[in-house]
Amino acid sequence: MLFTRSQLVIACALASTLFISACSKENSAQKPDALTASAPATGEASTLNERNAQQRLVSTLEKNFKTANIKAKILAIKKTEVPNLFWVSLEGMGSVYATSDGQYIIQGDVIHLGEKQLRNVSESLQAGENKKHLATLKTEDLIVYPAQGGKAKHVIYVFTDSSCPYCHKLHEHLAEINAKGIEVRYIAWPRGEQFMPTMQAIWCSQDRKAAFDQAAQGLPVASAECKNPVRDQYQLGLNMGVNGTPAIYNVEGVYLGGYMTPDEIVKRLEK
């Protein structure tokens, strides 16, 4: 596999809430190393020289990936504010940074110092890609909890798993979240292959909300088979870098966090 959990330690130290407010991914049914390398990446370089430099970097990375027997498809590559450092979006796994010579890749967050608040350099870059992914979802393929009192002030997407304790905790506060004018859209993201059947049964149920409630209480959900989007939604999560549940995003694709209280969600949305 290209990246292991141990490589995330430094990045997650700066975002430790992921570990204390989310359920981690277990046996993934779709491994990042099952990807195939191909296709030139797209970018937003403003000049011909920049575009040529990015294309050379793509070629170098693909060559080095192949030499190292790493199968990873590059989806997009963009210049960052950090000199000689590029942001690279990969299919089926989280984004990485690459040096301009294509000899080094770095996984994790790059944090800008010098201001009162720390700023994640990749947040806006990743959010742009995430927004495109979320735009492909159809509401009929989700479990939607509308905001109370009419038109929603905000909409959030939540990657969830019925077996995840932190998802249960968030689920208990849905009425309060909806009362604050927030529409919640659940996306299926089973944390391991062993949880896939239950999530598929929920998504195949006539009443998905009731089935999710039942599963969240530890009760079995009647097995049902249908054409369902669960595996596709799981893959979408991988493409966005999801590695635990709940994972909450706004409509702009910005990652808000793992489990949060209703007040914390509002605060993040209005930040």
> What's the DSSP call for residue 95?
-
- Known catalytic residues? 161, 164, 167, 191
Q: Which two tokens stand for residue 42?
A: 């797209």
Q: ∠ CA(268), CA(136), CA(150), 5° rounding?
A: 55
- Is 8 in contact with 107 (CB distance < 8 Å)? yes
What is the three-class DSSP state of 93? coil
Alpha-carbon gap, residue 247 to 77, rounded angstroms? 24
For the chain, give the number of residues. 271
Alpha-carbon gap, residue 15 to 8, rounded angstroms? 10
Q: Which residues are CB-contacts of 3 (< 8 A; sequence separation ≥ 6)? A: 32, 93, 94, 96, 107
**Burial per residue of 182-198, b for 16 or more beta-carbon CB atoms within 10 angstroms, e otherwise:** bbbbbbbbbbeeebbeb
